Amino acid sequence: MLISIGDDRVIEAKVKKVEEARQEYNQALKQGHSAAMLEEKTMEDKKEYYVLNLGNIRPGERAIVDLFFQKSLKIVAGSFDFSVPLHFLPKIPKNISEKKSFRTPKLDLVV
């Protein structure tokens, strides 16, 4: 995952254990830095989903998130199924005065 913030900052993700990642994310926010954390979660029906947290993005600042993932495909009877979830549900804090600045993201799919 790469996140470009404004014109001059790039966050490059590293895979870490959940607790270590949370601690590092929270520490960066406390220090006033922009930070991101992506977590994989599983629902009761075993479907997987991801939660992306972005913090300390200045009002009006643009953030571009490039998310890359790999998955092994199981071939059954000469074919395979591959589905990519493209749902986006923004969680906007209630205390944000300029909600107009939040837009539905552009989703590009390259296979």
Domain parsing of the chain, residue ranges:
2-101
Q: What is the pTM of this model?
A: 0.66
- Closest by CA position to 81, among listed 73, 91, 71: 73
Which residues touch 86 (CB under 8 Å, ≥6 apart)? 107, 109
More confident residue, 85 or 98: 85
At 36, the pLDDT band (50, 70, 90 cuts) reads very high
Collapsing DSSP to helix, strand or coil, 4 comes out as: strand
CA 88 to chain CA centroid, Å, is 10
Instruction: Give dist(CA 88, CA 81) in Å, integer.
Output: 22
- Closest by CA position to 100, among listed 45, 56, 60, 48: 60
> Which residue type occupies 13?
A
What is the structure's pLDDT at 26?
Answer: 95
What is the structure's pLDDT at 97?
Answer: 54
Q: What is the pLDDT of residues 86-111, one digit of tens each?
A: 666 666 555 555 545 555 556 665 55
